[in-house]
């Protein structure tokens, strides 16, 4: 967090604003739906795709991480497990990095290849130090980009019995992330907390039969968190439902409904297309405070002091172009394990509503680290009490 005016220091890296994937020149972007490919003989599977570009498809989220586990133990476990089930692609160790948050009992494991990462999904439910763990794709996983990078599901020939897993785990792993990987997945936000799944389903089914719906719930108490994801049986319904539901008033709340992958760069079949960000009116009344979401900022980056300072510098430098900044707040994970609201978001308070409005209008839809930023207002009372 920043309590006041930012003290400029020597820049450690280039800003992440207006960063596009390597090989994409924003001055020569094709129109939405069009695309361009690499020169003849060059594929996106070689040097054209950097480790950073493929990282989202080479990581798994591990929930229920044993409290006594450390990075080396998790690395060794997954290295040995993938070798045992026949899930490696070479003689090199498949795991290249491990990040653990023991307070919240989760970890991220990064693999050398997309294929090995996908094979690791089959290990969902495996016992580590006597505790079953959950293995999922991370939140930054982009299924549309991943389609051109390698297998998105585990190899059906994996020998899971070699590590004591039921072979049916292969079928589970192929369906666990089906909603997450569907390119027509829709995000529904702003749902009143009192609505139960049947009521939300009834609303959504007005546009057609549903293939899959997930209402996201709090892991501690099971209550709705006010948002979810849906995939329709007929993909043609996707945009119609988004247009019909987005902005709908439900009590005191306003629904935010859009394609879950909206605003991201799509890499499909070796082609890149970057649609221009839509002009979206702010959902909340103008105030001195602008909130920035869909920044693609991870808990790992926030926990790293140097990376946190880099993000803080990016925000102060770019947001400062539109008026005088009073303060910048970037919520960080608690070292004590306490719940912190607003993780992944950035809040900037300006001296005037006029300056905040200029910043919101200019930065909404801008790129930050490859993500399309969503800028809106929050009221000054919520900002002061940090009710994010």
Q: Could you read off the pLDDT of 352-376 as tens digits, one per residue?
A: 999 999 999 889 888 786 677 889 9
User: What are residue 63's phi and psi, to 5 degrees?
Assistant: -100, 155
Least Cα distance to 60 among 16, 105, 126, 118 occurs for: 118
Most confident of 57-61, 210-214, 366-370: 57-61
Mean predicted confidence (pLDDT) in 81-88 = 94
Residue-level pLDDT at 304: 79
Mean predicted confidence (pLDDT) in 344-352 = 94
Sheet containing 325-329: give its strands across. 325-329, 346-350, 289-293, 374-378
What is the per-residue pLDDT across 100-132, written as a single tens digit (0 to 9) for each? 887 778 889 999 999 999 999 989 888 998 888
Cα of 153 vs its chain's centroid, Å = 19
**Whole-angstrom Cα distance, residue 166 to residue 159?**
10
Whole-number CA gyration radius for the chain: 22
Cα of 127 vs its chain's centroid, Å = 27
Domains and CATH numbers, the chain: 1-20+279-388 (3.30.70.330), 40-180 (3.30.70.330), 188-260 (3.30.70.330)
Q: Is the pLDDT of residue 82 over 70?
A: yes
Largest CA distance in the chain: 64
**Whole-angstrom Cα distance, residue 154 to residue 181?**
14
Name, in order, each residue with C-beta under 8 angstroms of 129's C-beta and a sequence gap of 6 or more: 66, 68, 69, 73
CB 287 within 8 A of CB 380: yes
Q: Is the pLDDT of residue 187 over 70?
A: yes
Mean predicted confidence (pLDDT) in 295-310 = 81
**Whole-angstrom Cα distance, residue 50 to residue 40?**
19
Higher-pLDDT residue of 275, 202: 202
Higher-pLDDT residue of 267, 277: 277
Least Cα distance to 331 among 370, 301, 376, 289 occurs for: 301
Packing angle between helix 353-363 and helix 305-319, nearest 10 degrees?
Answer: 110
User: What are residue 235's phi and psi, to 5 degrees?
Assistant: -60, -25
Residues in the chain: 388
Q: Work out the pLDDT band at 351, boundaries 50, 70, 90.
A: very high
User: What are residue 83's phi and psi, to 5 degrees?
Assistant: -65, -45
pTM, rounded to two decimals: 0.42
Average pLDDT, the chain: 77
């Amino acid at each position: 967090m920043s309590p006041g005016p930012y003290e400029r220091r020597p820049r450690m890296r280039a800003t992440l604003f207006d960063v596009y994937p390597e090989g994409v020149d924003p001055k020569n972007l094709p129109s939405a739906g069009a695309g361009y490919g690499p020169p003849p003989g060059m594929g996106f599977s070689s040097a054209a795709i950097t480790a950073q570009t493929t990282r989202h498809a080479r990581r798994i989220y591990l929930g229920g991480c044993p409290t006594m586990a450390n990075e080396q133990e998790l690395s060794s476990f997954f290295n040995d497990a993938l070798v045992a089930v026949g899930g490696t692609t070479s003689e090199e160790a498949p795991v290249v990095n491990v990040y653990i948050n023991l307070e919240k009992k989760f970890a991220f494991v990064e693999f050398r290849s997309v294929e090995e990462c996908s094979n690791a999904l089959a290990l969902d439910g495996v016992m580590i130090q006597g505790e079953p763990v959950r293995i999922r794709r991370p939140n930054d996983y982009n299924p549309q980009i991943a389609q051109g990078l390698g297998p998105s599901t585990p190899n059906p020939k994996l020998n899971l019995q070699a590590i004591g897993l039921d072979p049916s785990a292969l079928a589970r792993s192929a369906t666990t992330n089906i909603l997450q990987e569907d390119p027509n997945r829709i995000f529904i936000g702003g749902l009143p907390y009192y609505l139960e799944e049947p009521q939300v389903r009834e609303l959504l089914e007005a546009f057609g039969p549903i293939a899959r719906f997930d209402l996201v719930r709090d892991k501690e108490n099971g209550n709705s968190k006010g948002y979810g994801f849906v995939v329709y049986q007929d993909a043609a319904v996707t945009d119609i439902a988004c247009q019909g539901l987005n902005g709908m008033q439900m009590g005191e709340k306003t629904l935010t409904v859009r394609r879950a992958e909206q605003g991201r760069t799509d890499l499909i079949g070796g082609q890149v297309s970057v649609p221009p960000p839509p002009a979206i009116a702010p959902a909340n009344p103008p105030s001195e405070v602008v909130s920035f979401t869909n920044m693609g900022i991870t808990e790992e980056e926030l926990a790293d002091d140097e990376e946190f300072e880099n993000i803080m510098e990016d925000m102060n430098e770019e947001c400062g172009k539109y008026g005088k900044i009073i303060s910048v707040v970037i919520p960080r994970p608690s070292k004590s394990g306490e719940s912190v609201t607003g993780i992944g978001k950035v809040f900037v308070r300006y001296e005037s509503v006029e300056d905040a409005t200029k910043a919101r209008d200019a930065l909404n839809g801008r790129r930050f680290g490859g993500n399309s930023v969503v800028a809106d207002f929050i009221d000054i009372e919520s900002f002061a009490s940090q009710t994010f």
